[in-house]
Structure 1
């Protein structure tokens, strides 16, 4: 059983938005008892080769919120993504809301502030965000209480957000037939990830789980919703009683074969700034490419 406050009687409305370019799923979560909502893991579009930023995916989220006359209270990042850019500030400018992330963002900022040679002007205290969550912190979305659960392993700043009978797991878990995310980024650790996954699997079996990514393994259609019970029984990496030792061995060997995510260079620079583009001394938006730095 979980030690976190969970209210399975609350059933938030969840609208999913799939971004095919990055295989990311963003969510609008509505309080069934009010017009309040939250957005989790938004995407800002980038044509990396053309150095062009656009906002089609974020505009779809914004249009959905506006078409239903909802009030956006939170823009949540489950972690500092390495495979897509956050549209949090763009959405905040259009709709309001507070931008929140786990407090261990400061670890990520310190690590990659050095990698990208950001200098002393880059603040490494998480102050780019409106709220920094600790393990077990709660916050309100209308009448709904949300709880943030610290789930490191993929990155040091990962958190799962439980809102009623729905949990948004970021990259802590994938669909049962896809398993789990890599644990070889700086600050990642396979054994830690296994322990974090056990926190998720300790939630009620009927808890709905919503993924941040899906890649359609074995040619199946893209999916993003499952349950704790299904993950416990069928997850190919951690389900059906697989041991921690087995998981660590598999995850470590598998991660050694993986290439860097194609958008890791721009994603980290933007996302550790809460979605803001870095600027040069003249105020121009720029991205650095550290040679042999990652």
Structure 2
């Protein structure tokens, strides 16, 4: 990573964080509320997708909408930590009903170029990030109510991974898991285990008490689902990257482990939808939208 911005955590501001768990994909979405106003953001929403039937629904997104409406909140941002490979985004559905700006890291353009080629999308698919309202660069500031928030570029899992520093809370996407879950894989196109290590150490350089919120939890060893930890806990006991693990040892472990992993169940539909900001491909002449199944693209 080249000359990352210095980002300060506001340990005196404690946003209210409300988690929503999508059990089929082990994904957490969050409402993040400014403690001093009704301003809020939604991080990493989920659109329900049944692979066998090709049907979509919005049960999880409706729960988020109901909460926002019930508590008279003002949805100002819909934030994506990255182009997810394991669930489909519900961002357009939320935006249609509650407005709010849709934001992602500026390297979405790199991801769109890569997967636009894999899915043979042609020139009609824009690869400039224009499906999103805001493309964040490292260190960019934005407001949720009266809170000043920061975008922190944390690539490695994907080139476009962005963590969001909101008061004393950081939403880390797939970069880190709970301490007993380790770290994200780095073998997708554009991933890099060495860069991931550097991103993680950037996160772990934040103040000890900084709250970290996970995008996924796979409940290792059968424990109950968890979503929140701290920088201090990760630094002390993360099974892959605790204090004392060298970059070389991490890269060796991560690459060896990644070679044993299968592809996420929803990777093919997820990438096609999420690189479009959560939109489906345009309907064809019969009025139906179609997703492609490229053969051996990830074998």
Match in the other structure for 2:78: 75
- 5+ long unaligned stretches in structure 1: none
Indicate the SS of the match to 1:279.
coil
Question: What residue is the counterpart of 1:17 in the other structure?
Answer: 20
For residues 5 and 281 of structure 1, the distance between their equivalents in structure 2, rounded to whole angstroms, comes to 48
CA–CA distance in structure 2, aligned partners of residues 106 and 45 of structure 1: 25
Number of aligned residue pairs: give it.
293
Q: Distance in 2 between matches of 1:98 and 1:63?
A: 19
CA distance in 1, matches of 2:128, 2:284: 21
CA distance in 2, matches of 1:254, 1:22: 21
- Which of 162, 169, 172 lines up with 2:172 in the alignment? 169
1:280 Cα deviation from its structure 2 partner: 4.1
1:30-88, Cα deviation, whole Å (9 max, x unpaired): 00000000000000000011110000000011011011000000000000000000000
Find 1:252's aligned residue among 252, 255, 269.
Answer: 255
Instruction: Provide, for residues 145-187 of structure 1, a one-character-per-residue CA deviation record: whole Å limited to 9, x for no partner.
Output: 1100001000000011000000000001000001001000000
Q: For each residue in 1:257-280, what CA deviation from the matched residue of structure 2 results, as whole angstroms up to 9, or x when unmatched?
A: 000000000000000000001124
**Aligned residue in 1 for 2:295:** 291
Q: CA RMSD in A?
A: 0.9
Q: Distance in 2 between matches of 1:145 and 1:78?
A: 18
C-alpha separation in 2, matches of 1:143 and 1:205: 24
Secondary structure of the residue aligned to 1:21 is: helix
- The CA distance in 2 between the partners of 1:280 and 1:156, in whole Å, is 29
Selected match of 2:130 from 127, 131, 134: 127
Query: In the aligned structure 2, how far is the partner of 1:15 from the partner of 1:4?
Result: 24
Equivalent position of 2:156 in the other structure: 153
Aligned mates of 1:22, 1:6 — CA distance in 2 = 30
C-alpha separation in 2, matches of 1:98 and 1:196? 26
Distance 1:10 1:81 in 2: 29
1:6, CA displacement in angstroms? 2.2
Pair 1:42-2:45 in alignment:
yes
Q: Which residue of 2 aligns with 1:117?
A: 120
Q: Please report how far the alpha carbon of residue 8 of structure 1 lies from its aligned counterpart in structure 2 after TM superposition.
A: 1.0
Q: How does 1:63-102 map to 2 (within 5 A)?
A: 63-102=66-105
Work out the CA distance in 1 between the residues paired with 2:146 and 2:8. Answer: 15
Residue 293 of structure 1 deviates from its aligned partner by: 1.9
Mapped partners of 2:235, 2:183: distance in 1 = 13
Match of 2:31 among 28, 32, 54: 28
Q: After the TM superposition, which segments of 4 or more aligned residues of structure 1 sit over 6 Å from their partners?
A: none
Q: Structure 1 length normalisation: TM-score? A: 0.98
Alpha-carbon separation, structure 1, partners of 2:75 and 2:238: 34
What is the deviation of 1:241? Answer: 1.4
CA distance in 1: counterparts of 2:297 and 2:16, whole angstroms: 42
Report the counterpart of residue 65 of structure 2 in structure 1.
Answer: 62
TM-score, normalising length from structure 2?
0.97
Tell me the residue number matched to 1:200. Answer: 203
Gaps of 5+ in 2: none
